[in-house]
Structure 1
Amino acid sequence: MRYYHLPEFGGVDALRLGERDEPRPGPRQVLVRMRAWSLNHRDLLIARAAYGRDVRPGVVPLSDGAGEVAATGDGVTRWRPGDRVAGTVIPRWTAGPPTAEKVAGMLGGSLDGVLAEYVVFDEEALVAVPAHLSLLEAATLPCAAVTAWHALVEVGGLRPGQRLLTLGSGGVSLFALQLAAAGGAHVTATSGSADKLDRLRGLGAADVVDHAADPGWGATVHERTGGVDHVIEVGGAGTLRQSITAARTGGRISVIGVLSRGEGVGPVPLLRKALTVQGVLVGSREMFEELNRALERHRIHPVVDSVFPFSDAAAAYRRLASGRHVGKVVIGAD
């Protein structure tokens, strides 16, 4: 079978396609024939040796993918050959709050990822693909969609009528927009592109702000909304100050990404507004299953920006690195 690995960390050009024997599932394990994969910003950071967390030398990249069960090992009760499944990003985190033990390994970093034609999973580290989604769509869910669900619902307690701010047009932000709009929230979305702002409106944003034309976009959002209840903060240091400005007193900021650079923010603005700022690390298998039920109930389809063949996975990396994408960059089986 074919698989990709990173024998060294030098960006996209370090990605290597190799051949090895098809793996076999052991007891309580499942062999999945992978049919689709998707990329996250984390994958770019890992390839560039800029992730800042443990990464196994020679790692098989990517945490996100979907496929069909090809075979099961002894003792497997959850799955049968032919089932459509997706893997969880953090295999040991099945339910409950995170602990150091549960989140000790993540696919595509400290553990081998899924950018291979066949992958073995523990039977507890898989979820069923929503019936209304293709495998290409399902491949976008494990990291970005679960993270958005975790932030909005599990810790955010999303309710109809709440005011949400999303930043940009990447995977987490778009999933948050779609889920929140379906849940009756008022979503304000930012982008620096007129075309992308139109797309965000089409996906359910009630209001949009051009952050490129308006460097003080946080104050603009606060003026229009009276302060948002919740910010999905994917920018990091470069956007956090504006997100704090946009939030209402007593609001929440879910810190998810590090897409932009900037100066640090002192505690005084947080104290003055009594803000809750919480880091969100993907989510458990149980959260993934709850997300999938919501996607089915509301018939939500992920936004797929583009699809590249498995034989040219590097092109998918380059598309994501360009920043021109809207939604998820996907790799499909040749």
Structure 2
Amino acid sequence: MKRYQVTKPGGLENLAIVQTETPTPNRGQVLVRWRATSLNYHDYMVALGAIPTAANRVPMSDGAGEVVAIGEGVDSWQVGDKVVSLFFPNWIDGKPTPTNNAAVSGDTVDGFALEYSCVDQTALTRMPDNYSFEQAATLPCAALTAWRGLIVEGNLQAGDSVLVQGSGGMSIFALQFAKAAGAYVYATTSCDTKMARLKALGADEVINYREDSSWGKTLATRSGGIDHVLDVGADATLKHSLDAVAMGGHIALIGVLGGITATMMMPTVFFKQVTMSGLAVGSRAMQEKMIAAINTNGIEPVIDKVFAFDELAKAFEYQASGAHFGKIVLRYDD
């Protein structure tokens, strides 16, 4: 079998494909043949070495595939079942803890840029009905983050307003979930072509943030204050998120695309009485609920481009260009 390794000290030129033996599942484990993965900013940071990992770590936090062998004591899965990985393989339910968040796929433990691996039977969920492997591989990080930010932490209700920033995978999923829930959605972008695509997906109003240096205040004026804001840019966007959010509204702090630090006007937080939630993906129970909602509403991911297994570095270079709209996927050889 083939697998990728991130060799020290990182860098796309150090993503190596090696040949290893196909493993055998231990008690409580299943052997999965992985068919696809998708790219996230977190994976890019691992590949570059910006997030330190153990030597020869297998990258990629997303995986979709099928069960091909079962270890002793496994009662949750059968050979042929189509499955999706977990970002936190040990976070099954309940609140996040240092223990259940210690294992991070493609970071502190091996991820899914490989053809086969053994995983605990609890570290998987079923794929949505009628999804391809490529579609299912977009879900574990980006989709679940959007779901948790809006539905779990935000308690989104029909008639609420939502602001999504940009057109990356998480923001597109947030737009789709929000519309399925009956929300009014505002979106930002820097590109007129992407503006049209966001509207085609259901965004009610879109603003070009490059053409309006006070876009948060502009959105507040238009909306009267937005109930749910998913902030992906930290220092590049948080000021605008605070300007745009409604009194008593919710900001989900999700990304660091504009830097790993941010400054904010604390009186704005106080007097707007804003709830701010820092969050990282979610649990298995959340993923199961999200997939049930996907099945009910027929939501399909937006996939920008599909690369072959041996094109991971090329796929990351495309991701870094910012030209994509939605998710970038790596499809494995049959």
SS in 2 for 1:124: coil
Aligned twin of 2:95? 97
Summarize the alignment of residues 1-334 of structure 1 with structure 2, pairs less than 5 Å apart: 1-51=1-51, 55-261=53-259, 264-334=263-333
RMSD value, Cα: 1.1
CA-to-aligned-CA distance 1:54-81 (integer Å, 9 cap, x gap): 5222210001010010101000000011
- Specify every segment of 5 or more residues in structure 2 that has no aligned partner in the other structure, as ranges: none
Separation in structure 1 between the aligned mates of residue 215 and residue 12 of structure 2, nearest angstrom? 33
On the 8 A contact 2:248/2:273 being kept in 1, the answer is yes
Task: State the one-letter code of the partner of 1:37.
Answer: T
Task: State the one-letter code of the partner of 1:116.
Answer: L
SS in 2 for 1:98: coil
Task: State the one-letter code of the partner of 1:225.
Answer: S
Separation in structure 1 between the aligned mates of residue 234 and residue 23 of structure 2, nearest angstrom? 39
- Specify every segment of 5 or more residues in structure 1 that has no aligned partner in the other structure, as ranges: none
The alpha carbon displacement at 1:268 in A equals 2.1
Task: State the one-letter code of the partner of 1:226.
Answer: G
CA-to-aligned-CA distance 1:89-145 (integer Å, 9 cap, x gap): 101100111111111110010111110000111000100001121110000000011
SS in 1 for 2:210: coil
Separation in structure 2 between the aligned mates of residue 263 and residue 290 of structure 1, nearest angstrom? 32
Number of aligned positions between the proteins: 332
Separation in structure 1 between the aligned mates of residue 99 and residue 240 of structure 2, nearest angstrom? 35
The alpha carbon displacement at 1:46 in A equals 1.4
On the 8 A contact 1:150/1:282 being kept in 2, the answer is yes
Separation in structure 2 between the aligned mates of residue 263 and residue 3 of structure 1, nearest angstrom? 37
CA-to-aligned-CA distance 1:121-180 (integer Å, 9 cap, x gap): 100010000112111000000001111111111111011110000000011111000000
The more displaced of 170-179 and 267-276 is 267-276
Separation in structure 2 between the aligned mates of residue 215 and residue 286 of structure 1, nearest angstrom? 40
Task: State the one-letter code of the partner of 1:292.
Answer: I
Separation in structure 2 between the aligned mates of residue 220 and residue 15 of structure 1, nearest angstrom? 44
The more displaced of 310-319 and 279-288 is 310-319
SS in 1 for 2:31: strand
Separation in structure 2 between the aligned mates of residue 25 and residue 199 of structure 1, nearest angstrom? 44
Separation in structure 1 between the aligned mates of residue 127 and residue 276 of structure 2, nearest angstrom? 32
Task: State the one-letter code of the partner of 1:233.
Answer: D
TM-score using structure 1 length: 0.97
Separation in structure 2 between the aligned mates of residue 167 and residue 123 of structure 1, nearest angstrom? 36
SS in 2 for 1:64: coil
Separation in structure 1 between the aligned mates of residue 281 and residue 191 of structure 2, nearest angstrom? 28
Separation in structure 2 between the aligned mates of residue 185 and residue 34 of structure 1, nearest angstrom? 35
The alpha carbon displacement at 1:263 in A equals 5.1
Separation in structure 2 between the aligned mates of residue 86 and residue 263 of structure 1, nearest angstrom? 34
Separation in structure 2 between the aligned mates of residue 272 and residue 13 of structure 1, nearest angstrom? 49
The alpha carbon displacement at 1:50 in A equals 2.1
Separation in structure 1 between the aligned mates of residue 164 and residue 192 of structure 2, nearest angstrom? 16
On the 8 A contact 1:166/1:233 being kept in 2, the answer is yes
On the 8 A contact 1:130/1:138 being kept in 2, the answer is yes
Give the fraction of aligned pairs with identical amino acids, expressed as a percent: 43
